[in-house]
Chains A and B, each alone.
Chain A
């Protein structure tokens, strides 16, 4: 069974600064995808970024990028130039190629961006 751990329940950052959210996972599978989702207060959860395990290049989506360390089973999310609208719960998720493809989520990190 897979596990996903987000060790930072809460984080805060000043507007325009950079923040990194950590995520580690444990799996015996060799092929899988990792995802970061964002859930703003009282709003819908949406995909931020995803990374394929076989790709060495870290995924980037505008101000959001990941640091994927496959050997260390680490998948951190870096938010550059933080904006007030980045205030949200962030969830890390794993989806493996074996079995029924049921995703495994971390418990989430609450990020507050201060003006």
Chain B
């Protein structure tokens, strides 16, 4: 079974801090994704990576950056955390074909105080 592991289940940070959310997958998937999930808004794509060092902006990239130095690891960075970034963050991975489903991590519930 594919395993997508997010480094923290719950995280509390302060306004202005630089925050790192880590995601690791163990199935050699080409594609990795970071989503933000808020009630009533569904999943909104922050960034997508289709290969090592390759990335595309999603729907809401402002205030975020990403890093993919190795195929299995995809990091989301909040450069200067703000209270409106308090949310659930989901990482996902998939093979690089359009017929492939995504595999999700457990999510990180991030609170910015």
Q: What residues make up the interface of A, taking CB atoms closer than 8 Å to B?
A: 9, 31-33, 35, 37, 43-47, 50, 52, 91, 93, 95-97, 100-103, 105-108
| A22, chain B: closest CB distance, angstroms | 15
Q: How many A-B residue pairs have CB under 8 A?
A: 53
Q: Which residues of A contact B43 (CB under 8 A)?
A: 91, 105, 108
Query: Beta-carbon contacts of B52-75 to A below 8 Å, as 1s and 0s?
Result: 000010100000000000000000
A89 to chain B: closest CB distance in Å? 9
Count residues on chain B whose CB falls below 8 Å from chain A CBs: 24
Q: Which of B90, B98, B106 contacts A96 (CB 8 A)?
A: B98
Measured CB to CB, the nearest residue on chain B to A49 is: B101
Nearest CB in chain A: distance from B102 CB, A: 6
Interface residues of B in 22-47 (CB under 8 A from A): 31, 40-43, 45
Query: B97 interface residue, CB < 8 Å from A?
Result: yes
Given that A100-B48, A101-B31, A102-B48 are known contacts, is A108 also in contact with B98, CB under 8 Å in the complex?
no
Q: Contacts of B16 on A, CB cut-off 8 Å?
A: none
Interface majority SS (helix, strand, loop, mixed), chain B: loop
Interfacial chain A residues near B40, Cβ < 8 Å: 9, 107
Cβ contact within 8 Å between A101 and B97: yes
Given A32-B98, A33-B98, A100-B48, are A108 and B56 also a contact pair (CB < 8 Å)? Answer: no
Does the CB pair A101–B98 fall under 8 Å?
Answer: yes
Knowing that A50-B101, A103-B102 touch, tell me 12 more A-B residue pairs with CB under 8 angstroms. A35-B101, A37-B102, A95-B99, A95-B100, A97-B98, A101-B50, A101-B97, A101-B98, A102-B48, A105-B43, A107-B40, A108-B43
Known: A100-B50, A101-B98. A91 touches B106 (CB 8 A): no
